[in-house]
Structure 1
């Protein structure tokens, strides 16, 4: 008669669980040379400690080859999780709250429509004053002063050429000077008293300069030709506050104005047959409720443009320049006077007006605040980044220029040797 209780099954042999075995260690233990028994009394303490650590880390104190029980599931190690958090915190860079240097410059003009700060690829920062240009060489921290033309009115805009061979200086009487910074002499220029004064400049190449004026006109000039006028951009009806060419392609021009409009122009788009020297806008954006002081192209995304609104707007907007769609709009909480993208990471720096007159670093596309840097006592009107990365200069209505170590300095990579990717040369 069978018992109601389950009987224990007895086996005549042990069958190992292959899934619970370390096959690589088993192969090593079977095929490797046998290790002689060590006499700890004859070895140094450091050798004994090293061998013990080796057994724990590499062999995990294993002494058996076959496993007859299923392997127990080991929970995730909490110290490894803590280590990951510690390394993540270690990777986060520290952004100083205080500026590295402060320049006090008397005679700086305070106007929303002026662009008086530019840092060239020659590592020289140009600062426009009322009747002169102050040059600060970041390499040797030397200074130089370029005097303006007498009876020409205040300086309204400055811009380095891409190769920094000349500095374009726009004056209040509609005169434009191209100055050689080495000799301090005017090498070229133009004068048109019938035109409105210039408010913004943008170099398309080393010889073609785009000029925006206070009457809303935008014109391309080629200084290699006798007839320098190339093309007229028809769109704004008030002063052009900001101009910038797309850095990746050089095909698109963005402009922001006192008329609260943003225009995107395609330089490759055909012009009208009736007006062969007049270009129409590709996209007209009228979403801002105040003047558009700043527009800036993302250096890592060719079709991404950022624009900022003034005192009654407080918004930072991002645009897809292919179809003109608004990708995002962020309320910054105060007037946004200037924009500056980091050239190496997806970070955006903005400068603000009252009540805090601070600089704010944003992480794109999440638009989370990375850091806020107070220091100026008035509106921060302009931003310029060092060509070497890392340092940013800010000019404010308090007549100071402050240097901040904000952006992450890119790592310098050694140039690759010729044919380094080949193992041999035929």
Structure 2
């Protein structure tokens, strides 16, 4: 096949996005007007929690005078009380009341501040803390690349982003490498037509060595720094290898034959363990962050959790028993994502007849939550910096959906692809997501924000371990 027909050209999507407003500050208490005596209904009854006396028989003028009297007024009041003359009382009343239009029971000054030190500290802390702004999520792709001959097959895994910031994507029989730092594209290999097409790809932890699964059932191991084929693993599976996952020096492979095999790339007899639990093609494989548990999903609608401690007690190349066999999904289970902030939390997505994202406690096997997304779930990625989950979908919107975890409220829906979004990969800093769809385009989204801390580059010792291991085997 002509390698030139598989070119990848870059474009720029210039659609603008509107930033969402920040959360509004909580408003202050509503203003309460002072009490007034302008309207009274003596016949009205009170059903509240306050006692309101009947004032119809009260002399309000004298009551106001008694409430506002001073020391001198008290002496005058005593004189008035002793004197039978009402003229003196009326003169004093006119002087004190009619010339002073103060409203009865009205506040002259603001009420004093509360003396409770704890309440004061709470108020000041709330005033000092600014409202947290909602992160700006661009609604359009930052960059779009052409991806001709991308195989439209839900059960394959044709894209991965390595720790050295190089994206690998298989287009038909050819493996391409796109360097995110420089934006340059290179062709790693075009496999023979009898072996192709490429059916899976996965970067080793060192970001230098790449595993490629083929339709012929072979697995190739490449050194991308020198563009050298280091080793070909044969006889591992009976048919195509659609899923790959690394766990340090162990390369785990899943095939259409339903088998899952652990291959130690450091030794000649590489097949060290076999997991058998699927009756159909294994389309999803993911090791947990600790490397202690392996999740596998198959076209038989099954999800298995395998534990290293159980496998280590078995003889080499033996058949190992699963820790959990989970049958809740109603379609193929391809989308798998281990939570970065909770080691025993796994998110899984089902195919077109299922459409659900489910969350599992892998220690107990309990299903914690299930959300119907309304469309085929093709892939899942966790945000490494926030408690968020990104999913990619098929018919009808072909969108990427960002969810807030654990509420599973939709934060954003990213559209642009015109066919189902089969694959997603995450940049090493955790912020940028690449999506590849059956519309033969590769799009980059700044969906996960900006990293708070820059992660160190991978150590060279890991790379040396792989190189020395492969050297004597060849």
Q: What TM-score bracket applies, with the shorter chain setting the length?
A: 0.7 to 0.9
Contact 2:272 2:316 in 1 (8 A): no
Structure 1 residues 274 and 360 mapped into 2: Cα distance closer, same or farther (>3 Å)?
closer
* TM-score using structure 1 length: 0.76
Matched, 1:380 2:418: no
The aligned counterpart of 1:393 is 434
Contact 1:240 1:255 in 2 (8 A): yes
User: Where do 5+ consecutive residues of structure 1 fail to align?
Assistant: 12-68, 416-426
Give CA deviations for 1:242-279 in whole Å, capped at 9, x if unaligned: 100001x2100001110000000001115676887221
Matched, 1:166 2:166: no
The aligned counterpart of 2:157 is 115
Give CA deviations for 1:53-85 in whole Å, capped at 9, x if unaligned: xxxxxxxxxxxxxxxx996257x99xx99x979
User: Which of 353, 356, 367 is matched with 1:315 structurally?
Assistant: 356
The aligned counterpart of 1:20 is none
Structure holding more helix per residue = 2
The aligned counterpart of 1:130 is 172
- Secondary structure at the aligned position of 2:208 is classed as coil
Contact 1:271 1:278 in 2 (8 A): no
The aligned counterpart of 1:29 is none
Residue pairs, 1:271-420, within 5 angstroms:
277-412=318-453
Root-mean-square deviation over aligned CA pairs: 3.0
Give CA deviations for 1:186-216 in whole Å, capped at 9, x if unaligned: 01221228722111000011x2100000111
* Partner Cα separation in structure 2 for residue 173 and residue 276 of structure 1: 22
Q: Please report how far the alpha carbon of residue 304 of structure 1 lies from its aligned counterpart in structure 2 after TM superposition.
A: 0.1
Q: Please report how far the alpha carbon of residue 102 of structure 1 lies from its aligned counterpart in structure 2 after TM superposition.
A: 0.4
Contact 1:172 1:197 in 2 (8 A): yes
Give CA deviations for 1:139-177 in whole Å, capped at 9, x if unaligned: 011111112332312000000000022110111111111
* Partner Cα separation in structure 1 for residue 309 and residue 237 of structure 2: 30
- Secondary structure at the aligned position of 1:88 is classed as coil
Structure 1 residues 85 and 379 mapped into 2: Cα distance closer, same or farther (>3 Å)?
farther
* Partner Cα separation in structure 1 for residue 339 and residue 386 of structure 2: 10
Q: Please report how far the alpha carbon of residue 413 of structure 1 lies from its aligned counterpart in structure 2 after TM superposition.
A: 6.6
Structure 1 residues 85 and 364 mapped into 2: Cα distance closer, same or farther (>3 Å)?
farther
* Partner Cα separation in structure 1 for residue 156 and residue 438 of structure 2: 12
Structure 1 residues 123 and 193 mapped into 2: Cα distance closer, same or farther (>3 Å)?
closer
Matched, 1:222 2:253: no
- Secondary structure at the aligned position of 1:366 is classed as coil
The aligned counterpart of 1:175 is 218
User: Which of 72, 81, 87 is matched with 2:112 structurally?
Assistant: 72
Q: Please report how far the alpha carbon of residue 104 of structure 1 lies from its aligned counterpart in structure 2 after TM superposition.
A: 0.8
The aligned counterpart of 2:56 is none
What is the aligned residue count? 348
Residue pairs, 1:145-294, within 5 angstroms:
145-150=187-192, 151-192=194-235, 195-205=238-248, 207-247=249-289, 249-269=290-310, 277-294=318-335
Structure 1 residues 340 and 413 mapped into 2: Cα distance closer, same or farther (>3 Å)?
closer
Between 209-218 and 269-278, report the one with greater CA deviation. Answer: 269-278
* Partner Cα separation in structure 2 for residue 335 and residue 85 of structure 1: 46
User: Where do 5+ consecutive residues of structure 2 fail to align?
Assistant: 1-61, 72-108, 457-474
* TM-score using structure 2 length: 0.68
- Secondary structure at the aligned position of 2:310 is classed as coil
- Secondary structure at the aligned position of 1:382 is classed as strand
Q: Which of 1 and 2 has higher RCO (CA within 8 Å, sep 6+)? A: 2
Structure 1 residues 189 and 273 mapped into 2: Cα distance closer, same or farther (>3 Å)?
closer
Structure 1 residues 279 and 377 mapped into 2: Cα distance closer, same or farther (>3 Å)?
same
Higher-Rg structure is 2
The aligned counterpart of 1:43 is none
Give CA deviations for 1:104-147 in whole Å, capped at 9, x if unaligned: 11111010110001000000000011111111101011111112
The aligned counterpart of 2:96 is none
Structure 1 residues 194 and 104 mapped into 2: Cα distance closer, same or farther (>3 Å)?
closer
* Partner Cα separation in structure 2 for residue 196 and residue 373 of structure 1: 36
Give CA deviations for 1:380-414 in whole Å, capped at 9, x if unaligned: 00111110222100000001000001002112379
The aligned counterpart of 2:464 is none
Give CA deviations for 1:210-257 in whole Å, capped at 9, x if unaligned: 00001110000112112111000011110011100001x210000111
